[in-house]
Amino acid sequence: MILQPKTLYGHRFLELYGNEWILIRKSDSWHSAKRLGPWGYVQQVDGLKTFFMHLADDPHFLIQQ
């Protein structure tokens, strides 16, 4: 999937790690999340960086594809 930044944090993060990510796992909850999902565990296409993001309303990123 292609991520687009919504915030300065998102912009800087994508400058470091790129905007192409692979959805590894989708879940309705995440152990440290304060709200329900859908949550996605994503990984860089060309790297090892991973993170959880809210797939419907992430504060830092928009999903383009």
pLDDT band at 37 (very low <50, low <70, confident <90, very high): confident
- pTM for the model stands at 0.86
In the structure, what pLDDT confidence band is assigned to residue 34 with cuts at 50, 70 and 90? confident
Long-range (24+ apart) CB contacts under 8 A made by 18-25 are: 18/44, 18/45, 18/46, 18/47, 20/44, 20/45, 20/46, 21/45, 24/50
Question: Which residue range(s) make up the domain with 7?
Answer: 3-63
Q: Which residues pair with 39 in a beta bridge?
A: 27, 54
Q: Is the pLDDT of residue 51 over 80?
A: yes
Mean pLDDT for the stretch of residues 2-28: 96
Mean per-residue pLDDT for 23-37?
Answer: 85
Spatial separation of the C-alpha atoms in residues 51 and 65, rounded to whole Å = 17
Q: How many domains does the chain have?
A: 1
